[in-house]
Amino acid sequence: MSEAKAHKVKDIFVEGSIDPAYIATSIAKHTTRTDIGAHEIFLGQVRADTIDGRTTKAIEYTAYRGMALEQMTMIREEAFVRWPTLTCLHVHHSLGVISAGELCFMVFASAPHRQQAREAVAWVVDRIKSELPIFGKEMNADGGHVWKENR
């Protein structure tokens, strides 16, 4: 039985929105890896939801950074154990005010085959949404706000 490779704590947080050009650059950096046959990417974008007549214009994200990074490291480690053929797993989440239409969350995995990459990304997204202490304050066009709840 082989030992699982320990991964270092990686800071997943970025100030502001995630630039689509950064995503393209991330993909391009992997073209030198000839052991990769599939990339799977999840992108979260702020929606301009209208609830009870109030439209969301932005979400202000905050987090308990240390706790979130510790938990993310455990999720990452478990992902590499569950899908040992993963070649990489990148996670980025915005902090600060992100306007409707902007990207705020990215999970990117690569593997030799699509099924492993696809399963890993879905699993990581669900774990992050349910377990990481990341909070979103939905800011409404009328100046009010509502704390976001993950469903």
131-149 per-position pLDDT tens digit: 999 999 999 988 888 887 7
CA distance 137 to 147: 4
- Rounded to whole angstroms, the Cα distance separating 31 from 142 reads 46
pTM of the predicted model, to two decimals?
0.90
Q: Domain 13-26+36-147: which CATH class?
A: alpha beta
Identify whether the C-beta of residue 128 lies closer than 8 Å to the C-beta of residue 93: yes
- Half-sphere exposure in the Cβ direction for 75 (13 Å, CA): 25
pLDDT at res. 143: 85
Residue 1 pLDDT level (bands cut at 50, 70, 90): very low
Number of DSSP helices (H) and strands (E) in the chain, helices first = 3, 8
Note the pLDDT of residue 29: 93
pLDDT tier, 151 (very low <50, low <70, confident <90, very high otherwise): low
Cα end-to-end span (Å), the chain: 38
Could you tell me which residue, 71 or 8, shows the higher pLDDT? 71
Q: What is the pLDDT of residue 141?
A: 86
Domain positions in the chain: 13-26+36-147
Chain segment 59-81, per-residue pLDDT in tens: 999 999 999 999 999 999 999 99
Residue 150 pLDDT level (bands cut at 50, 70, 90): low
Q: pLDDT (tens digit, 9 = 90+) per residue, 12-53?
A: 999 999 999 999 999 999 999 999 999 999 999 999 998 888
Cα 94 to Cα 39: distance, rounded to the nearest angstrom: 22
Residue 116 is classified by DSSP as H
pLDDT at 67: 96
* Average pLDDT of the residues of the chain: 92
Residue 2 has pLDDT above 50, yes or no: no
